[in-house]
Amino acid sequence: MNDEEGSGSISANMASLLAIMARLRDPERGCPWDIAQTFDTIAPYTIEEAYETADAIDRKDYAALKDELGDLLLQVVFHARMAEEQGLFDFAGVVAAISDKLVRRHPHVFGDAHYANAAEQARGWDEIKRAERAAAGDGDEDASVLAGISRGLPEWKRALKLCDQAATVGFDWPGPEPVLDKLEEEIGEVRAEFAAGAAHERLLDEIGDVAFVLVNLARHAGVDFSQALRHANAKFERRFRRMEQLAAEAGEGLTGKSLAEQDALWDRAKAEER
């Protein structure tokens, strides 16, 4: 680490960031935009910054990762500052809470517990979380294995967590092959609904089933569903932009070309990547 990257102590740099955030939120001397924000208005930016961090990791752009992690940290500082202004908690409380949680949920590292393998550790983790919910008064009403799965997650992520939790009691496909069979079955049901001129609600339901099974297929393959979709998006964008270039090189544009002509350009773009 060079002097520029590591200048100053962590505590001094953190104190400076907290002071900057406080100044931005100062009702008299701060930034009008920052002052106007609330938890609700900042939440979408928090989600966006998390995805941009994941994108930098996916691209292995570690210079960008440093910047994105800073942006993500700013989101934590922003929320903590607004909470402090309302007398709810402060940044120090956030740090203390996550530190306590990490120690509490790793008794095999910070205590005397012992787990034989990763699966046993995962069960222990779930037991600790259930005890935490019970201590907070959240465990009395819902004793389901699925209790505690946030409804604020992206739906694909919630689907993954639902299936992971169901699997802890043995409710799971034994491998990818039956998942593929189920996927074919669900796609067949979508085809049938289209052929029958189904209402929007029926298509919504059946396409949802396909998406749910796809998440499970990725899960059984050990593939991160979000990463897979990011790769697919990047591939589509790369090939489509190449289509535009090929058309432009011929003095033309994509608009007005037939689908067959556009498909031919797509095939050329695809072939160039091989």
Tell me how many domains the chain contains: 2
Q: What is the pLDDT along the chain (274 residues), one digit of tens a residue?
A: 444 455 568 899 999 999 999 999 999 999 999 999 999 999 999 999 998 998 899 889 999 999 999 999 999 999 999 999 999 999 999 999 999 999 999 999 999 989 988 888 888 887 888 788 777 776 556 678 888 788 878 889 899 999 998 998 889 999 999 999 999 999 999 999 999 998 999 999 999 999 999 999 999 999 999 889 989 999 999 999 999 999 999 988 899 899 999 999 999 999 998 8
What pLDDT does residue 195 have? 93
The token duo for 235 is 């591939």
CA angle at 122 for the pair 120 and 125, rounded to the nearest 5°: 110
Res 4: pLDDT: 47
Q: Tell me if 164 is assigned to some domain.
A: no
- 173 DSSP assignment: -
Where residue 256 falls (left for φ over 0; alpha for ψ -120 to 50; beta otherwise) is left
Token pair 């298509």 is at which residue? 203
137 within some domain: no
3-state helix, strand, coil in the chain (%, to 5): 70, 0, 30
Domain-embedded: residue 206: no
Q: Would 42 be classed as within a structural domain?
A: yes
- Residue 141: the pLDDT is 65
Of residues 56, 51, 50, the one with CA closest to residue 76? 50
**Residues 239 and 270 sit within 8 Å (Cβ to Cβ):** yes
Q: What angle, 0 to 180 degrees and rounded to 10, lies between the N-to-C axes of helices 225-249 and 200-221?
A: 110
Domain end position, chosen among 73, 89, 104 = 104
Domain boundary among the residues 83, 104, 125 is at 104
Q: Domain for residue 260, yes or no?
A: yes
Largest CA distance in the chain: 72
Establish if 170 belongs to a structural domain. no
pLDDT recorded at residue 8: 66
* Residue at a domain's end among 57, 77, 104: 104
pLDDT score recorded for residue 7: 59
Q: What is the CATH number of the domain that holds 72?
A: 1.10.287.1080
Residue 60 domain-assigned (yes or no): yes
Q: What tokens were used for 266?
A: 């797509």
Nearest to 43 by CA among 20, 85, 7, 76: 76
Range of the domain at 69: 10-104
Classify residue 176: in a domain, yes or no: no
pTM for this one? 0.64
Q: Would you state the pLDDT for residue 63?
A: 95
